[in-house]
Amino acid sequence: MTRNPVGTIVHSDRGSQFRSKAFVRVLKNNGLVGSMGRVGAAGDNAAMESFFALLQKNVLDRQRWNTKEELHLAIVTWIEAKYHRKRRQRALGKFTPVEFEELHRLLEAA
């Protein structure tokens, strides 16, 4: 399913790479909204730290990748097939994000 990312919030810490003009320009050019955690508030990034730890364990540490495209495909496949599709969300009526979007797509088409 192709999503429209315009307006998506990209949350980060206050690292210099996330404050750079190049990063801010990429956000703007893609219609994304930057958001930064407070200084010294470790809890702000707890969910992303957990996500990246799982990504590291389940994808990055499993093998070396010959090309960026292969790595990109491995990451996207893991997110969609192993992580994103299985996580049921209370706010989405106990549907996974993919199930929720598909249900709404079908209802809009009817």
Distance of CA 92 to the CA centre of its chain: 17
- pLDDT the model gives residue 44: 59
Q: Is the pLDDT of residue 2 over 50?
A: yes
Percentage of the chain lying above the pLDDT 70 cut: 85
pLDDT in tens, 69-104: 999 988 888 887 776 556 667 778 887 777 788 888
Q: Are 31 and 63 in contact (CB under 8 A)?
A: no
State yes or no: pLDDT of 31 exceeds 90. yes
- Give the SS3 label for residue 34: strand
Q: Which of 92, 37, 82 is nearest to 59 (CA)?
A: 82
Q: What is the mean pLDDT of residues 16-40?
A: 87
Report the pLDDT averaged over residues 34-52: 74
Give backbone dihedrals phi and psi of 54, rounded to 5 degrees, phi first: -65, -40
Report pTM: 0.45
- The pLDDT assigned to 1 comes to 45
